[in-house]
Chain A
Amino acid sequence: MNSVNSAASGGSQPILEVRNIVKDFPGVRALDGVQLRLKSGEVCALLGENGAGKSTLVKILTGVYQPTEGEIVMDGRPLSLESAQDAWDHGITAIHQETIMFSELSVAENIFMGHHLTGKFSLVNWQGMYDETDKLLKRLGITDFDPQTPIKELSVAQKHLVEVAKALSHDARVLIMDEPTASLSQKEVDELFVIVRRLRDEGTAILFISHRFDDIFAISDSFVVFRDGAFVGDGLLKEAKEEDLIKMMAGREVKTSANTRTSVSDEVVLQVDDLCHATEFEHISFSLHRGEILGFYGLVGSGRSELMHAIFGLTAPLSGQMIFEGSVFTPKSPEDAITQGLVYVPEDRQHCGAILDMSIGDNITLPSLQSITGGLKLNWKKESSFARKYASKLKVKAHSLAQKVVELSGGNQQKVVIGKWLGTGPKVIILDEPTKGIDVGAKAMVHQFINELVESGLSVIIVSSELPEVLGLSDRIVVMREGLMRATLNAKETSQEEIVAFATGLK
């Protein structure tokens, strides 16, 4: 398992080889002698928890960073990649983790940014770029937008397709896909995979990075595992089992906790009746029981998050009513909702959930300051004991409460964010994509914690694009599509196929 050559048993020579790459940042060694081989016509999955060094390697391969030591060999010759242009010249392109887009600019210009076509007097040749883009879009079978469409008018999935087109514009011999499926729904993932397979069959070597094992097994031929910036092992995927891969990534066994509850109380905590919004959703009615986990599934853009925003008082619904704990609930602001015991943990933890540049302690106490201090005056002692209580309850790993949240790993940031909302003493907690982009270990811990919350009498609404997560945690699942509720399913009696069918409109 621990040799680079085991992956090479397929025969042909690799196009691209990474040899003992080391990358140092001030005070941190992000990569410590990693290795990797990519072959033509093969999809290789790169696995590792957050902080394993995957994205650093991607940036090195695309010329954004330069390695401290080691070499990149292409077709048997060592390469030096000083810029994105160097990487493109060698046929290496990437679809990056954060979609790297210029939303005000057109599809064509996004594709050609950094290598604009130029004509006379080296002026930009717009017609040429539109024509080229048109060809690329046709090649991908895209008809619902054209080269001159501004990126801001596209959906998340369409933006990913533009990224693919951009990669193709470089005659990619090596295509790196860094978490391309993180914010896509199953249907969109399937569509993306059709394209990926076509590219693979055309002879492109593909490096595929994802946290979603379903996707990894669906598309990849071989795998490489990194842990803490070091190479752990590689092999062929058909010979590997998910548990083994998780063990290699985490360096330990990770138990996944499933829903083991047998019954849910009949008491209704939150009742939503015919809630309508001007533009985002209509006719939403559901009830949430005490001690229940209610899952919300739907494609990105189905109105799930927008519905939660309305319930949390961030936006105002047009009509309909909510009853919370027996009385009419019309939150005018998040403050209203929080005081009454309903909280929302937003999807985007960097921009909405945490105040990154503030300390762990200040983050945890922020929504509860008034009740902790019992007045307007800050009380350092009470605050730190409060913060410590929730930080240790969620097993946050940090060197002190004064450490800034921005310095923590994704998983620990999410724990701080959950702790922050838990501190307000809620009765209902809405979790929007609570494990998005966090690694296997932290994910399992968050899942286990959600189950503990429910056992202690809280009610939870969980919004997730990850089917196994929704299915595994929820008691009931609401499926939304295009702003409407399409089905409410019992988690124990339904299947992934049925949920997808409702979410995509097949049913």
Chain B
Amino acid sequence: MEKNTATVIPNSLPVSFSDRFRSREALLLGLIAIVVVVNSLLSPYFLDVYNLLDSTQNISEKAMIVLTMTLVIISREIDISVASIIALSGVLMGAAAAHGADTWMILLVGLGTGTLAGLFNGLLVTQLELPSIIVTIGTMSLYRGIAFIILGDQAYTSFPASFEDIGQTYLVNGMIPTQLIAFVFFAIIFWIVLHKTIYGRRLYAIGNNPVGARYSGIRVNNYRLVLLTLNGVASAITAIFLVSRIATSRPNMAMGWELEVITIAILGGVSIFGGAGKITGVILAVLLIGLVQFGMQLINVPGVIMSIITGLLLIISLVLPIILSMFYKRRRA
């Protein structure tokens, strides 16, 4: 009797088309389509491959931190200090250049600063068991504060030409900026890590239930430490591209980027409570914000307006599903 009733459990139930349709990715694709149509109506220069590719330079720099930030948020942590790390490693790279360091040395200083800053965040969070939001609010002030102590309201503007080439080069017939290539490269790596390896699975487990993950034999603190350090490294890479592109570094650079980065990640469907989010969603969110930004540039809208739109997109993307589900419920009832 018992044997017969124990039927084989299926792997999964079929996903209905309407469920897929209501996913975060579908929502983002829809928004992207709207933006593309609106932009191409607003400006004849929008649908131009050279222009489009060129416009990715800006957003690709931020997007590199979005990738690591995605992993950080999935593991139920947050890092508000990234923009300050950009400023600190930018200023230190400028200082190195001013002291006559060659390009390799500058890169080493930049990456080293980012790594150490991220590691410091990570050690405070893991060794002293402090909440990452407060730790990084503190280090956010500290890191940018150090940059101000070093440079005040001055700026470093002289860098070796080979260093400036890093952020000013276009490859493949002069079409594709290095930033985009770097972003695509990292996006693929992080997609593989998060969705195709056991590390990714463990990350989701940590984000959903850190205590349970620890009981399951996952060294939760090691993951936190690595992720927060990686976030520092990514910030340093962004700093390298940014500083080499504009050939300037000053303590107030990248102000407010931490919020933009986190906003893009959440817009991409990463749950602020941890445990959920996909790299594909985040890439679509990057694309969406990038296209909106580009469109705004084409019609000469000031950058502050862009921040209104980013904020609105974030809130709409969160409110819309709630309103829709209320609507569905009411119709069913």
Let me know if chains A and B touch directly in the complex, using CB atoms closer than 8 Å: yes
**Residues of A in contact with B (beta carbons under 8 Å apart):** 26, 314, 333-335, 337-339, 344, 346, 351-358, 361-362, 366-367, 369-370, 373, 376-378, 384, 388, 391-392, 395-396, 398-402, 420, 424
Q: Does chain A have a CB within 8 A of B22?
A: no
Residues in B with CB closer than 8 Å to A399 are 9-10, 13
- Mark interface residues in B184-217 (1 if CB within 8 Å of A CB, else 0): 0000000000001111111011001101111111
Q: Does chain A have a CB within 8 A of B8?
A: yes
Say how far B205's CB is from chain A's closest CB, in angstroms: 5
- The answer on a CB contact under 8 Å between A355 and B9 is no
Residues in A with CB closer than 8 Å to B9 are 388, 391-392, 396, 398-401
Given contacts A356-B209, A402-B13, contact A378 B198 (CB under 8 A): yes
Q: Does chain A have a CB within 8 A of B18?
A: no
Chain B residues 298 to 333 lying within 8 A of chain A, measured CB to CB, are: 329
Q: In the bound complex, what is the Cα–Cα distance between A424 and B216 (angstroms)?
A: 10
Max chain A Cβ within 10 angstroms of own Cβ: one of B198, B199, B211, B214? B198
Q: In the bound complex, what is the Cα–Cα distance between A5 and B93 (angstroms)?
A: 86
Say how far B94's CB is from chain A's closest CB, in angstroms: 39
Closest chain B residue to A346, Cβ basis: B215
Say how far B251's CB is from chain A's closest CB, in angstroms: 40
**Residues of B in contact with A (beta carbons under 8 Å apart):** 6, 8-13, 196-202, 204-205, 208-209, 211-219, 275-276, 329
- The answer on a CB contact under 8 Å between A314 and B275 is no
- The answer on a CB contact under 8 Å between A356 and B208 is yes
Residues in A with CB closer than 8 Å to B276 are 357
Beyond the given A334-B215, A358-B204, A424-B217, please list 7 additional residue pairs across the A-B interface where CB-CB is below 8 A. A353-B212, A369-B198, A376-B199, A377-B197, A377-B198, A378-B196, A398-B9
Say how far B325's CB is from chain A's closest CB, in angstroms: 11
Q: In the bound complex, what is the Cα–Cα distance between A410 and B10 (angstroms)?
A: 21
Q: In the bound complex, what is the Cα–Cα distance between A314 and B217 (angstroms)?
A: 10
- The answer on a CB contact under 8 Å between A362 and B205 is yes
Say how far A312's CB is from chain B's closest CB, in angstroms: 8
- The answer on a CB contact under 8 Å between B208 and A335 is no
Between A and B, 25 residue pairs with Cβ closer than 8 Å are: A26-B329, A334-B215, A334-B217, A335-B217, A335-B219, A344-B215, A346-B215, A353-B212, A355-B208, A355-B212, A356-B208, A356-B209, A361-B11, A367-B217, A369-B198, A376-B198, A376-B199, A377-B197, A388-B11, A392-B6, A400-B9, A401-B10, A401-B11, A402-B12, A424-B217
Contact partner of B196 (CB less than 8 A), chosen from A338, A358, A377, is A377
- The answer on a CB contact under 8 Å between B216 and A366 is yes
- The answer on a CB contact under 8 Å between A378 and B197 is yes
Q: In the bound complex, what is the Cα–Cα distance between A335 and B139 (angstroms)?
A: 32
Max chain A Cβ within 10 angstroms of own Cβ: one of B12, B13, B214, B215? B215
Contact partner of B216 (CB less than 8 A), chosen from A26, A334, A378, A388, is A334
- The answer on a CB contact under 8 Å between B212 and A314 is no
Q: In the bound complex, what is the Cα–Cα distance between A378 and B195 (angstroms)?
A: 8
Say how far B278's CB is from chain A's closest CB, in angstroms: 15
Given contacts A358-B205, A392-B8, contact A353 B215 (CB under 8 A): yes
Given contacts A366-B205, A376-B198, A401-B11, contact A314 B213 (CB under 8 A): no
- The answer on a CB contact under 8 Å between A401 and B12 is yes
Say how far A102's CB is from chain B's closest CB, in angstroms: 21
Q: In the bound complex, what is the Cα–Cα distance between A117 and B199 (angstroms)?
A: 54
Given contacts A367-B217, A384-B11, A398-B9, contact A354 B329 (CB under 8 A): no
Given contacts A366-B216, A391-B9, contact A357 B208 (CB under 8 A): yes
